[in-house]
Structure formats: C-alpha cells, structure tokens
Structure 1
C-alpha cells in the first residue's frame, strides 16, 4: 500500500466525496449507531417490563453504520435468553438456571459446540428422559438440539434459518430476531486471539482486553453438512465484532460498504450463496490488522479498497477465510462450488484490474453515475439531501419502536378493570423506577398518561377528589411524551369533567406547538404504506444531535383510550371502542387488538376537540375554522393511520351542524377506507333513523 499510482489520489478523493453524499460520513454513521442502540434499549426494556427475562441486542450493518439506502440491509436482533446459562467450566454453574455445558471436541465443527443439559438444583448432568428437543449420545450425555427454537415466534415472525424475521413493514427495516443463549466467557477456541499482544497494530491490547470482558452467544444453527448438524450450536462473537467495527475510521467503513456494493453488483445475483457480507467484513478486519491505521485515509481510499479485494481474491482462490476471532472457523468452507469458483475469481480479477472503471458500473445508490459525474468535474447539488433523508428515517423508526412498545402494554390492559389496570401499570413503572435511561424515560411518559387517564375515568365515575389529584399528577408527567398525544389526554380529562377554560388553554398550546411543516404523525396499529416525510422533519433530524429531545417536538403519536378510560373519552369517540359486530370479529387477526380501543390521530382529534369547545363557548368563527381544519387534515395529511375514525368524528360534527347530507358522505367515505370493524355502520344506521323520523 506504500506505492500510490498518480490517478489513485484523485480517484480516492472523488470516491470519498460520493460516499459522503450517499450518507457514509461520520455524522450519519454516529446517528445510525445512536438510533439503533436506543431502539435496542427500547426493545429490551419492553420485554423486561412485561416480565420476560431477556435482553435484545442489535448487530449488523444498521447499528455499525455500514449501510446505505440502496443496500437495504436488514437488522439482526439477538434475543438473549437470560434464564439459560452456557458454561465452559463447572465452577460457572448457577442455581435455578437452565445450565448448559459447552462441549468442543474433535467431533464438533470449528466455531460450533454441543450443549449438554445440566440440572438446575445441583452441578450435575441431567439424566431425565429425552424429549423432542434433546438427544442422549453414546456417552450418556443429554444434548440439546438446536430445533428447540423452531416453535418460537408468531404470525408476524417468519421462520428464516435460525432467525425469525419481521419483513415487508413499510418504513421499517426488515428485522431478523435470533434467539440465543448467553455465555459470560469466551470459548476456548478464541483464547489465541484474546492472548495476542499488539503494541502498534489494530486491534490494540486495550481493545482485546475490552473484548475479553464481553459475553458471547450460542445460536441454534449447525454447520451445514455436518454429521452433528442438528446438535451443533454456532458460537457468536457478535459483541466483539460490533465493538471492533465501532473503532474503525470512516475510510475503513467506506471500504466495507463499497465491498458490499461490488458484491451486490457483480457476484450476489450470479452466485447468491458464495460470498456473504460477513465474509467481506472479516476480510476487512484482517486487512486492517495487517496494516497501520494511518494508511487508511481519504487519499488512499482506492488503494485500500483494492487491497481488500485482492485479499478477498486470495481467500476465494484458497477457499480459506478464517473467522477474525475464532480463527479455526473457515468461513469459506463448503461455500464455493468447483463450477462457480473460476467464474467468481474471474469477476473479482476484472474488478481489481479495471483500475477503478468497474466502480462506474455500480448501480446501488447511483454510485457509479455519481462517481462519473464527480470525475467529470460536475458539482453535486444538494449534497445533504440523502443524509438528511436518512436522519429523518432513523428518528421516525425510533418513534415507531417507542409507540409499538407503549401499545403492547395497552393491549394487555384493554380488558381489565380500572383498578387492576392501574395497579399493573404502576407495578411496571415501579419495577424499573431506578433506571434513568433514555428508553425508560420515553416509555414511562406514555404509561403515566394512561395511568392518569384511567384514574380520571375512575374519578368521574366515583366522584373521588383525591383520585382526581393523583390523576392530574400522572397526566402532567406524560405531557412531553410527544408534541400532542399526552397533552390531548389531559385536555380530554378536563373536557369530560366540564373544565372548559383549561381545555381551551391546552388546545391552544398544542396548536401553537404543532408545526404543520415539521411534525410527523406516528402510528403502529397496523401496517400501511406511508408517504414521504416532511422536508422540515428530516432537516431538523439531520441538524439536531439530541434525537430523544426532538421526539417531543416533531412527532405526534395517535391518542389511545382503553375501555377503562371511557369516562374521560368524549362521547363521539367512545363508539370506536365497540366498532366490531359479531360478524366483524371473524375478519379480525391477532394484530387487530387495537380495534377494542378508541384510537385517533392527534391532529384531527385536536381540531375535533376545538370544535366541541368552541361550540360550548358559542365562538362560531372558531368553531367553523376547527370544522374546516378537520376536513382539510383528512384530505391533505397522507400519513394518518386512522382516517376512518377522523371521518366518523367529522360526520358527527356535521350531524351537530344539522348537515345530514355531508354527515352521510363522511360515514360512506369512512366505510370505503375500512369496510369492516368500523363504527361508521352504527352512525349510518342512527343517521337513517333520524332522517326517517324527521
């Protein structure tokens, strides 16, 4: 890498410029990592609050920041089953846990292990009869089969190898949920890597020492073609790999991204199961470990990429690519057929010997076109457009994760009495009140709004002043959950208790804070195709470094009322809790639990509440403005998740205006959006009865 051709310097700078423009720069890489780490915390906290002893960890390109919009990388989420304890020595055995002894001998594939079941009441081998997910070997050991995870998951988690995938959800990256058992110590096979002494080169001694204290996992998949394939468990050192990727500089990251683009352009379609992106990552890590860190910079970008591709070529030629941590594991073993090998080598040789011309053929993210334009001297206009779009996508995904987490708790409470629901929610918060994490603060705000609303509903029913004071206290804690939904919950309570003045004050405050050019609606009740986000939303996401703070200013979650909140839910909205006839129930799925709640998007609900308040106060101009705003929002806001509910509310306002013809049109439009499980049927019947009687 010491001799740099004359053309390589200019080409390297142009490559770096293009990569910067498609979002591979320090700022977006850090935003990706922060967002994915926060989503990881939200997932973990949600599971733990629900009583599941698991941790959720994100691995792969999304959290590393080594992907682009065009690469469409999925997210590997490991579900660490903490009730299990994988040990390598009997001294690590723990009472009360399902202890599994890791076995690595000459009969087990490198990078894999067997798991022997142990007793949970004493450090002794398990001797009970085997079942469908265990096997007694010739030595009498009861070994756990990796098929134990086959039954994990539900309808939305599709079986895909050892993972359970959540796919084709608009606006959200595909997720592979991988159940795994944790191990506190690294396997013996990794001891050589952990004992390396590297004074100058990467990874440094401090990095290796840090990795030594990390956990690893065993994943339920065996070596393909192994005689013990159903009994083998793959050893995953994802934590160490993630940490090492976090230490790379931007040029090293760009080399990896370009390797994946080259793989997608020239190899993956013709030879889909030959070279994986993980193999490219491993090659990169080996290349970095062979060189000085200061060799990787913008001036040498092309040379560094060529070095990686040449190393990959040698690996394919020798059919040998050692795992970076567990070096005995050859990642290319059995992956490349004799027929495809010469063709793959020819393709790689073409890319390497093209002196950069092959890069112009990369269609992913229009890299080739952009590189050609840059080499020809054309200046890229609006170079921050794609990074800005990525920043908006990341924050929007975080809002979706948070909203889905909150909704999962409401689903569990929807059929409970007010007292039991309140007690459960209070218990959930109390169990983690000492965790001052961003995820905990975000989720707790929403839970506090629901607790306050449930207590207020109970107060309205019982006329208990003490309960009402507690309700207001909890509602105040949830005001900053987002720009509108928490405040709308409080406004609903004031409205239903007859406090018109304070209701009007809160609604004015919400309208002032709700910037129509910036705020994005957020709904996770069901899957629907979302339109592009507002430019103002994406721009603020790109400019801000405080994403969690930004959530409460530019996102608007839908407002949810479960049935035990019915007394602080306006009468017109209460019909949504009973939207399904007996016939409709047959057309509902497991994902339709939200239909037993009253759910409405924040913006149309804001205008509906204004209409009711101004009607009560006799402010005709303001009332008509609110009515027009509801209709305008329904027609112009593309990302409403509950447009049919907004139409039902508008129809009832039209009935109040004695405009029965337009009321009927609203209900008819509502039914066009959702034919079944829609309270518009009830409203139409009521309206027809009114017309007949008149």
Structure 2
C-alpha cells in the first residue's frame, strides 16, 4: 500500500495534473492556438465551397478538423451533392422547391438503430445516384455499397484506393486522406430526439439549438448484422460532434487529447489495425457522456488527471458490459460488431490491469523526467495561457497553420476568378483576426496561380497582345508578393526565368537573398530566431508575414512552373500528390544556377558548390526532414546539368534514402538511369 496520506496524494495528483496539462498544451496547443486553427479551417472551408460551385459540398471532419495535429492521423473529408436532401417524413418535403432539390426519404423501419435505408422520392439527374439505385418492394432505394463503388472510379481518385469503413482512403505521399461520400439532411433525426431531453447540464442551451439546426449526414456503410447491409446508410453526426468539441473548455479538450494519446501510445501500442478494438471515436463518446452526466463538477488544469480517470473508468465499464451507447442514439451499441466474446474478455483484462496500476503509473507519469523533483519539492506549475506560449512561438504556430491551410484547389482561370470574387465578398463579413490573415494568404496564392495559368493560355497570342499580357502577369505577381511572405518573390523570379529574362530573374534572386539573410527571419517552423521578437514584437501578423516568414514554395504539379522539373511533377502527380514543396533557399539556388547556366557557366559552377556546401552543412534550420528528399534531388539535377555526374549519382541516392513526401522516386530513378546509360 502507498503510505502517502490522502491529502498529500491529492496534492500530488494536482501537481502532476498541472505538469501534464502544461505538457499537453505544448503538444496539442493552447486555447489561443486551437482557436486560431479552427478559425483558419472554418474560413478556408467556406471559401472553397462558395467558389467551387461544382454541385458537391465539402466538409472537413474528424480529429484534424477539431484542431488536433496528431502524427500518423488521417485527414477526414466529407462530400455530398448539394441538390439532394434527405427528409424523415413527407411533411418536410414542403420545405423545398422540388424543381431544385432531389428528395430522399429515410426509411429506418427495418434497420438497426443508427442506420437507415434511403428511398428516392423524386428522379435524380446525378449519374452516381442513378447507378446506385436498387429496387425493393417496387421502390428505388440508393444502395450504399454501389454508391461508394462509383466514387472509386478514376474520375474521383487515382489508382489504389482502399476502403476504410465508410470512406475511400487514399495515400498522398506520407499523408492519408479518408474521403466519405454521402447525403445531408437539414432535419434532426427522430431516433436522436432523446439527446435533447438529456441535454440539461451540458451543452448550454444555445449550443443545443445550434446542433439541432445542423441536421445530420448519411455515410455509405451498412450494419454487418442488419438485413440490408449493402444498401443501408449510417447516420453521421460529424457536424454536431464538431460543434460539441468546439464548445468544450480547454481543460475538457486537453482531456480529450489525453484520451487519444492514451489510446494510441498505451492501449493500442504495438497492435495491428485489425487488432485495435477501441477507436478514437470511442474516446470522444466517453468524454461526451461524462460531460453530459455532469460527473465532474469542475474541469480545471489542477484536476486534469481526475477528469481523465473518470473517462477511462467509463470506457472500462463499457468494455465489461459489452455496450458502448452512441451519444446521440443510445440504443445503437457501437461495440456490437467488434467487442464481444473472447476479444471483449481479453480487452477488459488489459484495461483492468491498467486501472489497477492507478492513473500516475498507467500514464508513466511518475517515471517522467522532472516529475520526481516536482513531487518531492512540491513545485507548482503555472498553467496561465500567457505562461504557456510566447508571442513569437504563437506566431510560428499561426504561420505554420496558415501554410497548412493554403491548399485551395484552383486549376484554371475561371476557378481562380471565382475564388477572388468570393474573397472580395468576404471583406464585409465579420472575420476574426486569424481569418483576415489567412484570407490574405489565400489571395496571394490564387493570384500567383492565375498569373501562370494566364501565361500558359497567352502563348498562342500575337506579339502585341502577348506583350500586354506579359506586363499584366508581372504586375499580378508583384502585387501578390507585396502582401505575401518573403519567398513569394520567388514566383517573380520563376516567371522571369520562364520567359528568358535571366538577368531580371537574378536581380530578384539577389533581393530575396538579402531579405533571407536578416537575423529575424523564420525559415523553419521548428525554430524561432532570437532576434524575431526584438525586431517585430507587437507588429501586425501581416507585417510579420511580409518581413520575417520564408516558408516552403508550393509548386503545383498540374502547372509546369519550371520546365526542368516536369518529370518530377509527373512522378508526384501519378501518386496523387498535389504539389512539390521546395525549401526556398534550394529553389533560389536552383534558379540562380539555371540562369547562370545560360549567361555565365563559371558562376553556375560556383553557385553549385555553394548549394552543395549549404545542403551538407544544414542541420534542419532551413531544410526540414520532410522536404530533404527533394532538396537532394534538385542538387543532383543541378550537378547533372553541369556535368558533375558522379556527384549527381550520390545526391540522387541520398534523395532516395529520405522520406518520400513528394513521391518523386520514379523521377529520381529515371535520372540515375539516364546518367548510367550515357556516361558509364
């Protein structure tokens, strides 16, 4: 038995709770960081849906959309046709103009709780919907299995998609994205009506009203034990769940994050995907139930571990009983298909052993470095927001998130103009301070894409019109660079190189090099220069981004910016990678070598040597590990074009040893083969 007195044990628990809270805030994010992430995703999603207008609505979901950035986690995306709506009874059809909406009736009379059949009430012009229809009792129902199969075609995804529950999972380099395709209902499901009756203490009434107005979705998977497994659809509450997670205070959100870490690092550690019975969704369900039952009167950093332990005991109880009630539809037992019999018994024994260890032991907190000093000396940990993150560190996380969200798809001039029109309309909206800066970033990126797209379209024009067009494209790129980050000037240099104005390109390259040499410039999101706060503290984020941020350059694979990189774009695109991300100083040196190769070959050789030395000596300051493969590859290209074939082979081999974020392995191997065939 532990000889520590109850009062002392409680104090130890509080100290360790504060320690763990601070540690998790550094890993997951402070409340300000999480708010910023969510705001950026919210506005990016709105812009994408308003601008695309292709008939489908896009919505991010899952942990990523909630604000987590967990290593190895999937990114979840939902799509549904905007001109189709699901209703629960025929009286709801009067809410729509049937000329504009195809109506679908939910029929759950013969389905397990949480699942339903979808009966097509009016003809659909959507080809995927038409192909997915099956006839039962002289009625046309939309088959979930047939519908998801139609989305596996090359029209939507390239080769090698795999099914992952109701989703089509696709690897994009080192990132996995789950695509869920389904339908939407504006109305709250009758089978979830008990949720509103239970929601007295949590969430607050205005959140309940907002959730009810958000409706629900239907994703393409049936119940394995249902009579119509291949035709049924699962009712999804993804949007409602996101709103509930957003309504959590930060300690509740951090507890949710701790449950996720506990699941991944301890419960499921070392297990294959097939052997993982507990999932992240079960952790979310547990904290929802604990919050609604008001089992913990106060959620604060001091009692974080107590909050976690209550949630863990809830999961332990569910595993023992073999019942995990869905938060919205409690008679939907989410353990029914997976946790029963021998597997249930084995899982319970494993969890109970962790329970017997106690919260500090099972989380390995007592063995953490520094914990013993805290316990022995009763060192109190400050958990105030301002003490958890500095202004400079917050800025870096904000800029990193802006870069992460700068992915609006715009592959033709019409789409670019739609985005710009949508952005113009957003100026009058009540945007948050975080959303203003990401809209600025999106505008810069869209203008850059527009300039290069229009340039490609103008190549067949007559000389006079081509000259005017060229002047316009230069103005667009310069305007974009005026409110972008430092490295956005590289697109001007690329354009000059592409149009054979090598001296002008070299002039821009020299300007960029001067700006990058400033001691306060952030060139890696993992490190903040010491001079940053002194030089730019209290300045606006727009000013900081223009003068002190140099992030990787995104070269979109469907837009050939530099002809020498076409094989790399093609290799990457075949693997569903949207763009090449090139470290700015690598691209800068590459452009300089390319320009000098046309104007002064001796200087090209000198700059090649500088590029090689910089790459060899860089210790992650300017080149992060995820882009080091393309850095070595580009060095190899420059060595190959200047006749240094042996060095080029070494660089290409080094590129192959690095993480293949860009999936350019095919291009690298082809370049190696080309050298061997011609020179050895």
Global fold match (TM > 0.5): yes
Distance 2:330 2:172 in 1: 36
Distance 2:139 2:639 in 1: 68
- Pick the aligned partner of 1:631 from 612, 637, 640: 612
Check conservation: 2:486, 2:516, Cα contact below 8 A: yes
Structure 1 residue 325 displacement after superposition = 2.1
Question: What is the aligned partner in structure 2 of residue 143 from structure 1?
Answer: 141
- Secondary structure of the 1:535 match is coil
Distance 2:251 2:554 in 1: 45
- Secondary structure of the 2:342 match is coil
Check conservation: 1:102, 1:114, Cα contact below 8 A: yes
Distance 1:539 1:319 in 2: 57
Structure 1 residue 242 displacement after superposition = 1.5
- Secondary structure of the 1:108 match is coil
1:200-599, aligned counterparts within 5 Å?
201-264=201-264, 267-268=267-268, 272=275, 274-291=277-294, 294-361=297-364, 374-376=374-376, 396=400, 399=403, 402=406, 405=408, 409=411, 425-426=416-417, 429-430=420-421, 433-436=424-427, 441-453=440-452, 458=458, 462-464=463-465, 465-479=467-481, 483-493=485-495, 506-515=508-517, 534-536=526-528, 553-558=548-553, 560=555, 574-577=563-566, 590-591=574-575
Check conservation: 1:455, 1:468, Cα contact below 8 A: no
Return 5+ residue gaps in structure 2 as ranges. 152-156, 382-386, 428-434, 656-666
Check conservation: 2:222, 2:231, Cα contact below 8 A: yes
Question: What is the aligned partner in structure 2 of residue 64 from structure 1?
Answer: 66
- Pick the aligned partner of 1:102 from 100, 106, 109: 106
Question: What is the aligned partner in structure 2 of residue 529 from structure 1?
Answer: none
Check conservation: 1:29, 1:66, Cα contact below 8 A: no
- Secondary structure of the 1:186 match is coil
Question: What is the aligned partner in structure 1 of residue 585 from structure 2?
Answer: 603
Distance 1:156 1:260 in 2: 29
- Secondary structure of the 1:629 match is helix
Check conservation: 2:497, 2:505, Cα contact below 8 A: yes
1:209-228 deviation digits (Å, cap 9, x = unpaired):
12122131111111221112
Judged with a 3 Å threshold, the aligned counterparts in structure 2 of structure 1 residues 79 and 37 are, in CA distance, closer, same or farther, namely farther
Compute the TM-score of the two structures, normalised by the length of structure 1.
0.72
Question: What is the aligned partner in structure 2 of residue 34 from structure 1?
Answer: 36
Check conservation: 1:216, 1:239, Cα contact below 8 A: yes
Q: Does 1:87 align with 2:84?
A: no
Structure 1 residue 467 displacement after superposition = 2.7
Structure 1 residue 462 displacement after superposition = 1.3
Judged with a 3 Å threshold, the aligned counterparts in structure 2 of structure 1 residues 245 and 431 are, in CA distance, closer, same or farther, namely closer
Judged with a 3 Å threshold, the aligned counterparts in structure 2 of structure 1 residues 338 and 537 are, in CA distance, closer, same or farther, namely farther
1:374-414 deviation digits (Å, cap 9, x = unpaired):
43559899x98999999968855753553x546x62xxx6x
1:343-368 deviation digits (Å, cap 9, x = unpaired):
44444444444443542547xxx986
Judged with a 3 Å threshold, the aligned counterparts in structure 2 of structure 1 residues 348 and 671 are, in CA distance, closer, same or farther, namely closer
Judged with a 3 Å threshold, the aligned counterparts in structure 2 of structure 1 residues 115 and 212 are, in CA distance, closer, same or farther, namely same
Judged with a 3 Å threshold, the aligned counterparts in structure 2 of structure 1 residues 228 and 631 are, in CA distance, closer, same or farther, namely same
Compute the TM-score of the two structures, normalised by the length of structure 2.
0.74
Distance 1:167 1:391 in 2: 30
Distance 1:196 1:594 in 2: 45
- Pick the aligned partner of 1:176 from 172, 178, 187: 178
Distance 1:592 1:274 in 2: 30
Structure 1 residue 443 displacement after superposition = 3.6
Distance 1:367 1:633 in 2: 41
Question: What is the aligned partner in structure 2 of residue 524 from structure 1?
Answer: none
- Secondary structure of the 2:333 match is coil
Structure 1 residue 235 displacement after superposition = 1.0
Check conservation: 2:93, 2:103, Cα contact below 8 A: no
Judged with a 3 Å threshold, the aligned counterparts in structure 2 of structure 1 residues 520 and 679 are, in CA distance, closer, same or farther, namely farther
Judged with a 3 Å threshold, the aligned counterparts in structure 2 of structure 1 residues 675 and 189 are, in CA distance, closer, same or farther, namely closer
Check conservation: 2:28, 2:68, Cα contact below 8 A: no
Check conservation: 1:28, 1:65, Cα contact below 8 A: no
Which segment drifts farther, 635-644 or 237-246? 635-644
Q: Does 1:160 align with 2:142?
A: no
Judged with a 3 Å threshold, the aligned counterparts in structure 2 of structure 1 residues 225 and 132 are, in CA distance, closer, same or farther, namely farther
Check conservation: 1:317, 1:345, Cα contact below 8 A: yes
Check conservation: 1:320, 1:331, Cα contact below 8 A: yes
- Secondary structure of the 2:85 match is strand
- Secondary structure of the 2:58 match is strand
- Secondary structure of the 2:478 match is helix
Distance 1:562 1:257 in 2: 35
Judged with a 3 Å threshold, the aligned counterparts in structure 2 of structure 1 residues 614 and 590 are, in CA distance, closer, same or farther, namely closer
Judged with a 3 Å threshold, the aligned counterparts in structure 2 of structure 1 residues 14 and 643 are, in CA distance, closer, same or farther, namely same
Check conservation: 1:647, 1:670, Cα contact below 8 A: yes
1:77-107 deviation digits (Å, cap 9, x = unpaired):
22233232112222244424332111232x2
Distance 2:233 2:540 in 1: 41
Structure 1 residue 320 displacement after superposition = 3.3
Judged with a 3 Å threshold, the aligned counterparts in structure 2 of structure 1 residues 498 and 309 are, in CA distance, closer, same or farther, namely closer
Judged with a 3 Å threshold, the aligned counterparts in structure 2 of structure 1 residues 668 and 293 are, in CA distance, closer, same or farther, namely closer
Check conservation: 2:60, 2:78, Cα contact below 8 A: yes
Distance 1:645 1:230 in 2: 49
1:519-550 deviation digits (Å, cap 9, x = unpaired):
788xxxxxxxxxx9652389989x99988876
| Cα RMSD (Å) | 5.1
Check conservation: 1:600, 1:645, Cα contact below 8 A: no
Distance 1:635 1:482 in 2: 30
Distance 2:9 2:300 in 1: 16
Return 5+ residue gaps in structure 1 as ranges. 414-421, 522-531, 655-661, 689-694
Check conservation: 1:518, 1:535, Cα contact below 8 A: no
Check conservation: 1:39, 1:398, Cα contact below 8 A: no
Distance 1:159 1:509 in 2: 49
- Secondary structure of the 1:178 match is strand
Distance 1:679 1:551 in 2: 39
